[in-house]
């Protein structure tokens, strides 16, 4: 795998933190890692964005790219229209991904919001980007009530588009999980149509770079270079 697209079941589910964890673990293994955020919304020029947060947590060895920035915190197509700025087309994103793969072992592409958030008025989405570069998709979900429906809808959309979903990661596992979160540990793989590949603990994005790496390793599956075991993790919280 040289390219991985990271999408969420919605906004504020922990996509950037999971992207940072993936980048940190891969970089620590000596891999050349690039992180691409095609469209950043809700920030003005000069303000730190998602790729800056990834570099803060994963280290300056990670190459960071942001293609376009819109000032209002809206879907990219809407934000572009309101700002009178050009929209971003999947072919432009795909071209940047292809360029990055020439000099990097792993390119992580972080979407905006959920899978079907629009980049332009033709309805292009991060799913079209994944299709264009034939990349697998990792779904980031929240832990609590309502996540099964959103995860299942995302998985169904991926399946209908012929895209490979590698599995699901919980982007913000609560310190004190409620009943819904505990039950979702068992039910999320079925909703996602793929394995539970990690759970990043709440507060992880606020750690220093040095403290973040061991947490990232523990929170991610061996498939990503970590040591997360879904059965052991689930067993900590869920009674037989």
| Digit-coded pLDDT (tens) for 126-182 | 999 999 999 999 999 999 999 999 999 999 999 999 999 999 999 999 999 999 999
Given this model, what pLDDT does residue 71 score? 96
Predicted confidence at residue 217, as pLDDT, reads 97
Mean pLDDT by 10 residues, the chain (240 residues): 94 96 97 97 92 96 96 96 95 96 97 94 95 97 96 97 96 95 94 96 96 98 96 79
Other beta carbons less than 10 A from residue 203's beta carbon: 13
Q: What structural domains does the chain harbor? A: 1-10+20-104+117-134 (3.40.50.300), 164-174+192-240 (no CATH)
The structure tokens listed for 86 are: 């050009």
DSSP reduced 3-state for 26: helix
CB 33 within 8 A of CB 23: yes
CB–CB of 114/8 below 8 Å?
Answer: yes
Q: What is the pLDDT of residue 240?
A: 56
The model's pTM is 0.95
Q: How far apart are CA 216 and CA 1, in angstroms?
A: 19
* Confidence at residue 202, expressed as pLDDT on a 0 to 100 scale: 95
Edge-to-edge order in the sheet of strand 106-114: 63-70, 33-41, 106-114, 3-8, 137-141, 165-173, 196-201
The pLDDT assigned to 161 comes to: 95
Active site residues: 37
What pLDDT score does 239 carry? 60
> According to the model, what pLDDT value does residue 235 have?
85
pLDDT, residue 236, reads 84
């Amino acid at each position: 795998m040289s390219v991985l697209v990271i999408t969420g079941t919605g906004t504020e589910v922990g996509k950037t933190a999971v992207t940072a964890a993936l980048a940190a673990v891969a970089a620590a293994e000596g891999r050349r890692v690039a992180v691409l955020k095609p469209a950043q919304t809700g920030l003005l020029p000069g303000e730190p964005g998602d790729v800056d947060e990834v570099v803060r947590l994963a280290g300056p060895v990670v190459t960071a790219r942001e293609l376009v920035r819109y000032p209002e915190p809206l879907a990219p197509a809407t934000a572009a229209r309101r700002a009178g700025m050009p929209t971003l087309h999947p072919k432009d994103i795909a071209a940047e991904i292809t360029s990055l793969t020439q000099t990097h072992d792993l390119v992580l592409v972080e979407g905006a919001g959920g899978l079907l958030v629009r980049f332009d008025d033709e309805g292009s989405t991060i799913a079209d980007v994944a299709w264009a570069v034939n990349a697998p998709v990792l779904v980031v979900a929240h832990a609590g009530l309502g996540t099964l429906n959103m995860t299942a809808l995302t998985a169904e959309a991926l399946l209908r588009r012929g895209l490979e979903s590698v599995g699901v990661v919980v982007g913000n596992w609560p310190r004190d999980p409620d009943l819904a979160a505990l039950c979702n540990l068992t039910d999320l793989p079925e909703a996602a149509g793929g394995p539970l590949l990690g759970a990043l603990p709440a507060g992880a994005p606020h750690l220093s770079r040095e403290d973040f790496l061991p947490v990232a390793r523990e929170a991610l599956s061996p498939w990503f270079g970590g040591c997360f075991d879904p059965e052991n993790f689930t067993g900590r919280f869920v009674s037989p």
